[in-house]
Amino acid sequence: MKILIVEDENKTAAYISKGLSENGFSVDIAQDGQDGLFVASQQYYDLIILDVLLPKLDGWSILKGVRAIKPDLRILFLTACADIEDKVKGLELGADDYLVKPFAFSELLARVRSLLRRGVVQLQDHLSIVDLDIDLTKHKVLRGVTRIDLTPKEFSLLVFMAQHQGEVLSRTLIAERVWDINFDSDTNVVDVAIRRLRQKIDDGFEKKLIHTMRGIGYVLEER
Minimum CB distance to Ca ion smaller for 53 or for 110: 53
Give the dihedral sign, CA 191/69/120/135.
negative
Q: Report helix, strand or coil for 48.
A: strand
Q: State the binding string over 5-44 for Ca ion (x if CB under 5 A, else -).
A: ---x------------------------------------
Minimum CB distance to Ca ion smaller for 39 or for 142: 39
223: Cβ contacts below 8 Å, ≥ 6 apart: 207, 208, 211
Nearest to 221 by CA among 168, 151, 146: 168
Q: How far apart are CA 88 and CA 30, in angstroms?
A: 25
Sheet holding 97-100, edge to edge: 26-30, 2-6, 47-51, 74-79, 97-100
Count of chain residues binding Ca ion (CB under 5 A): 3
- The CA-CA-CA angle for residues 173, 160, 163, to 5°, reads 115
State in angstroms the smallest separation of the CB of 54 from Ca ion. Answer: 5
Q: How far apart are CA 170 and CA 120, in angstroms?
A: 22
Minimum CB distance to Ca ion smaller for 27 or for 194: 27
State in angstroms the smallest separation of the CB of 22 from Ca ion. Answer: 23
Minimum CB distance to Ca ion smaller for 32 or for 167: 32
53 touching Ca ion, by CB under 5 A: yes
51 touching Ca ion, by CB under 5 A: yes
State in angstroms the smallest separation of the CB of 211 from Ca ion. Answer: 43
Contacting range for Ca ion; rule: CB under 5 A; set: 21-29, 48-56, 176-184, 185-193:
48-56
Q: Is the distance from CB of 129 to CB of 162 less than 8 angstroms?
A: yes
Minimum CB distance to Ca ion smaller for 8 or for 46: 8
Contacting range for Ca ion; rule: CB under 5 A; set: 51-59, 101-109, 133-141, 188-196:
51-59
Minimum CB distance to Ca ion smaller for 8 or for 96: 8
Residue 129 pairs in a beta bridge with 132
Contact residues for Ca ion (CB under 5 A)? 8, 51, 53
